[in-house]
Amino acid sequence: MAPGPIDKSQVPQATVPRLARYLRVLHRLEREGVPKVSSKELAERLDANAAQIRKDFSYFGEFGVRGVGYEVEYLIDQLSRCLGVSEKWKVIILGAGKLGSALARYRGFQEEGFELVGVFDSSQRVAGSDIDGVTVRPERELPEFLQENPVDIAILTVPGEVAQLVADKVIAGGVRGIVNFAPARLASVDGVFIRQVDLSTELMVVSFYLSKECSPR
């Protein structure tokens, strides 16, 4: 039976960051010349749970063979394609404040298929300046830019009050993926994937696990 394409809506969102981790470890194994790996070995490498790993992989068809393990190269190929790492993604950053500039300078993601093609800011003061070779453009040029340069993913590091406005603009310009660092929840739009990242929430996830006081009363 030839397995069909994967229905991504069936993959829990919490699984996807783990797939990215698996891929990084598999690349390391490949460099070490390891051809096969069991879920147990992967779990040890990742400081994770073997059953969880098997479950995560199960969304992508039958990969492992009991007693033999997973083929590293095959798994890299599968995960790379599923995570879109074998494709090239054009990325822009909206907001050249402290966080936006920090992200623009952090080019680690460039190696993983994400190319920063533009940085935009609404402030006259910042527009025209240069971040490691990428010119900061005035935000009013955004619609025209998007018409001439199709962009896949926008990273939002604007103030919370204007986040929705800026999101509307990039979506109107054809952007289908948003990573939102602004402390404001964006309205969902069909066909657009929005990932919210926010420090307050991250801190609360930690305090949830640290907090002792949690019982229904």
146-165: which residues touch its own copies (CB under 8 A)?
152-153, 155
Judged by CB under 8 A, the residue of 47, 130, 148, 190 near its own copies is 47
Complex with its own copies: residue 39 or 101, whichever CB lies closer: 101
Q: How many CA atoms lie within 13 A of 191 on its CB side?
A: 6
Single out the segment in contact with its own copies by CB under 8 A; choices: 33-41, 136-144, 164-172, 189-197.
189-197
Complex with its own copies: residue 74 or 141, whichever CB lies closer: 74
Measured distance CA(204)–CA(159) in Å, rounded: 21
> Rule CB under 8 A: is residue 83 a binding residue for its own copies?
yes
Residues 103-122 that bind its own copies (CB under 8 A): 103, 105-106, 108-109, 112-114
> Rule CB under 8 A: is residue 27 a binding residue for its own copies?
no
SS3 207: helix
Nearest to 181 by CA among 83, 75, 99: 99
Complex with its own copies: residue 140 or 190, whichever CB lies closer: 190
Measured distance CA(195)–CA(16) in Å, rounded: 12
CB 175 within 8 A of CB 154: yes
Judged by CB under 8 A, the residue of 43, 52, 71, 99 near its own copies is 99
> Which pair of tokens denotes residue 34?
């390891």
CB 177 within 8 A of CB 154: yes
CB 49 within 8 A of CB 85: no
Complex with its own copies: residue 127 or 182, whichever CB lies closer: 182
Complex with its own copies: residue 8 or 140, whichever CB lies closer: 8
> Rule CB under 8 A: is residue 130 a binding residue for its own copies?
no
Complex with its own copies: residue 67 or 108, whichever CB lies closer: 108
Phi-psi region of 73 (alpha: psi -120 to 50; beta: other; left: phi over 0): alpha
How near is the Cβ of 165 to its own copies at its closest, in Å?
Answer: 17
How near is the Cβ of 143 to its own copies at its closest, in Å?
Answer: 21
For residue 177, the cross-strand partners are 153, 193
